[in-house]
Amino acid sequence: MITSFVHSTYCNAALFGGLLFVIMGYLIARFPPKSVNAWYGYRSFLSTRNQEMWEAANKDAALVSKKVGFVLMLIGICCALIFERQSDWFMYITVGTLVAGVLYIVGDTEWMLSNEFDEEGKRRVPPKL
């Protein structure tokens, strides 16, 4: 039974990665990391400059992660219904969309940080409510 699921098209990277992104986004939004030294959270050079940037980065990354996760799950389900077996193209599409999703989350969050904060880590524009 487990073997048949592992070899089915419903066992794909886009579906599992999307589910992981939705769970991760929900948990970070629900339980935001308190400080830069927390063991979880969105961690990059820009996000760890100060506490305000850390909070903004984690809030944005959680929101974008949930959105990307739902899109990835939809793509994973569509691929599972379209393909009859786990072919090369099936793998290219499901893994490629997962990699693109990760790059989008990082790119969007870094773009937001570089637009909203100046070189010293001070907010340029008032926060969006």
Asked if residue 59 is part of any domain, the answer here is yes
Asked if residue 109 is part of any domain, the answer here is yes
Cα–Cα distance, 24 to 65 (Å, whole number):
7
Asked if residue 67 is part of any domain, the answer here is yes
Asked if residue 121 is part of any domain, the answer here is no
Residue 38: alpha-carbon gap to chain centroid: 18
Asked if residue 10 is part of any domain, the answer here is yes
Q: Which domain holds residue 38?
A: 2-116
- DSSP notation for 75-115: HHHHHHHH-SS--HHHHHHHHHHHHHHHHHHHHHHHHHHHH
Asked if residue 77 is part of any domain, the answer here is yes
Would you give per-residue pLDDT tens digits along the chain (129 residues)?
Answer: 777 777 788 889 999 999 999 999 999 999 999 988 888 999 999 999 999 999 999 999 999 999 999 999 999 999 999 999 889 999 999 999 999 999 999 999 999 999 999 988 888 867 666
In the chain, the number of structural domains is 1
Asked if residue 15 is part of any domain, the answer here is yes
